[in-house]
């Protein structure tokens, strides 16, 4: 990365600079603005340890956030995002700087006021995105340690979704939609079979993963091989599971607004039958 010419120091941790390829950029890094002034250069080796916002909209949104953020908190949040980058070994989507900074500021404010925001999709998130959840738990421990403010466990789930969004380049609203859809589909299964699946069990984990991969296949337009003979056999042998699989597919189609191929019903029926037989 090339040397950057400082245009304006916004605070100890954020400055605006000229980049040879991207023109104006916002540079974020712990203590990056300390003792620096307009016209100074930031040398290449320092730049590699920093975050550079190239997208104009993300730059503007980040700058708008700054007046509302305590500088000590900002340093901690910058370090937390650095930790995410390190642990996931990923290039993070720039949006995480705006979205997660904003989220964590609110979370810290709520925690100091004794308010807790309930996370209804915590268990689904933990099951769907286990690696992101582990990193998020480490982030919460880091923030608690540095600020002395104890963030509730629900925050681990919220942060995990931000991490998943940033490393997959998926919009956070899409990530949220998938978690909510999986939750709704699991409830449909429980209602049809009239039993509750233990959220810590391997059965729950398998079901959630099956649904997640089905959603991903639909989004990518991937067509699973269609075993026609098995389809008619399953319809005859396991009509309850077969009908339920089609109800689930209809809900997926409505939610994702995309076609779900018939083969998904076969694989889902087999999965549901195995699950049902365990609880009989």
pLDDT for residue 48: 66
pLDDT digits (tens, 9 = 90+) for 14-71: 999 998 888 899 999 998 998 999 999 987 666 667 899 999 999 999 999 999 998 8
Domain coordinates in residue numbering, the chain: 1-68, 172-279
Q: Which range among 81-90, 212-221, 225-234 has the greatest average pLDDT? A: 81-90
Q: 1-68: which CATH topology?
A: Transcription Regulation, Sacy; Chain A (2.30.24)
Cβ neighbours of residue 32 under 8 Å, at least 6 residues apart? 12, 13, 14, 15, 42, 46, 50
Domain covering 172-279 assigned CATH 3.30.70.100 in the classification: no
Q: Angle at the Cα of 83 (from 79 to 85), degrees rounded to 5?
A: 115
Q: Do domains 1-68 and 172-279 have the same CATH topology?
A: no
pLDDT digits (tens, 9 = 90+) for 253-276: 999 999 998 889 999 999 999 999
- Taking alpha carbons only, the member of 58, 125, 48, 46 closest to residue 93 is 58
pLDDT digits (tens, 9 = 90+) for 161-192: 999 999 999 999 999 999 999 999 999 999 99
Q: What is the mean pLDDT of residues 89-101?
A: 95
């Amino acid at each position: 990365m090339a040397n950057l010419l400082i245009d304006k120091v916004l605070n100890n941790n954020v400055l605006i600079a000229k980049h040879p390829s991207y023109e104006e950029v916002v540079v974020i890094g712990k203590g990056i603005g300390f003792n620096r002034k307009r016209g100074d250069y930031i040398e290449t080796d320092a730049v590699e340890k920093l975050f550079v916002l190239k997208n104009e909209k993300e730059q503007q949104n980040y700058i708008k956030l700054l007046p509302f953020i305590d500088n000590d908190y900002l340093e901690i949040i910058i370090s937390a995002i650095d930790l995410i980058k390190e642990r996931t070994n990923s290039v993070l989507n720039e949006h995480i700087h705006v979205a997660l900074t904003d989220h964590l500021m609110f979370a810290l404010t709520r925690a100091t006021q004794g308010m807790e925001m309930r996370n209804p999709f915590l268990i689904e998130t933990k099951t769907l995105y286990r690696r992101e959840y582990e990193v998020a738990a480490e982030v919460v421990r880091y923030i608690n340690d540095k600020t002395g403010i104890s963030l509730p466990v629900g925050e681990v789930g919220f942060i995990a979704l931000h991490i998943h969004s940033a490393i997959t380049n998926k919009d956070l609203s899409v990530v949220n939609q998938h978690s909510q859809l999986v939750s709704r589909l699991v409830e449909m299964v429980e209602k049809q079979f009239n039993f509750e699946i233990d959220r810590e069990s391997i059965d729950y984990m398998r079901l959630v993963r099956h649904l997640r991969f089905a959603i991903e296949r639909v989004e990518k337009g991937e067509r699973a091989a269609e075993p026609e003979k098995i389809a008619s056999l399953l319809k005859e042998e396991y009509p309850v599971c077969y009908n339920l699989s089609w109800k689930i597919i209809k809900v997926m189609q409505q939610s994702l607004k995309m076609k779900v191929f018939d083969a998904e019903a076969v694989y889902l029926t087999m999965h549901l039958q195995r699950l049902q037989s365990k609880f009989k």
